[in-house]
Amino acid sequence: MMDPILKSFLRCVIAVTGSLLLSQVSLAADIEKLVMTCNACHGQNSVAQNNAWPNLAGQKQGYLALQLYAFKDGSRKNPLMDNVVNSLSDKDIQDLASYYAGLAFSKPAAEHLNAAGQNVRANCVSCHGMNGQTVNDTWPNLAGQNQDYLYQQLISFSNKSRDSIIMHEIAKVLSDQQMKDVAEYYQQIGIE
């Protein structure tokens, strides 16, 4: 039996390869083709099955567009995403961001929340809201996001391999355990 993470990774590699071939045939793909490419890693319902990848459903439109542009211009690095976004037009990016922002995302709260993570959350609420839902279109919602993904992003902000002046300052004061706790907390809280 193949390791589930390896299996997910191989699916993404196949999807990215397929995406590259598709982009050579047609630079202007319709939204359905674009979404099929994204779904290979981010899930059929835009809820990633691999905890290391982000859920896209219900994310802020402005935030999604900014991240796609960052992958495209190289200011945000990810080998899988780098290859996917190269052929996207500005219209494709805006269409994808609008599509994913328009998808409903709900998740029941876990029975027991990580109390240590809830305490660390105090560093997050001014931007990401009391319930992990931000009011600013260019900041990401955190509620229900995958724990491993959030943890890796905090590490990237703390070591400055991902750019954000605000997040650099916040992440650099968090211990590794605090990053794990707050990531787990945000994955656990519900979205109705």
Residue 175 lies in a domain: yes
Q: How far apart are CA 42 and CA 126, in angstroms?
A: 28
**With 70 as the cut, is the pLDDT of residue 78 above it?**
yes
How many independent structural domains does the chain possess? 2
How many C-alpha atoms does 52 have within 13 Å on its Cβ side? 10
17-75 per-position pLDDT tens digit? 555 444 433 434 589 999 999 999 999 889 998 999 999 999 999 999 999 999 999 99
Contact 154, 174 (CB under 8 A): yes
121-171 per-position pLDDT tens digit? 999 999 999 999 999 999 999 999 999 999 999 999 999 999 999 999 999
Q: Which residues pair with 191 in a beta bridge?
A: 107
The CATH code of the domain that includes 58 is 1.10.760.10
Amino acid at 55: N
Radius of gyration of the chain (CA): 17
| Residues of the domain holding 38 | 4-101
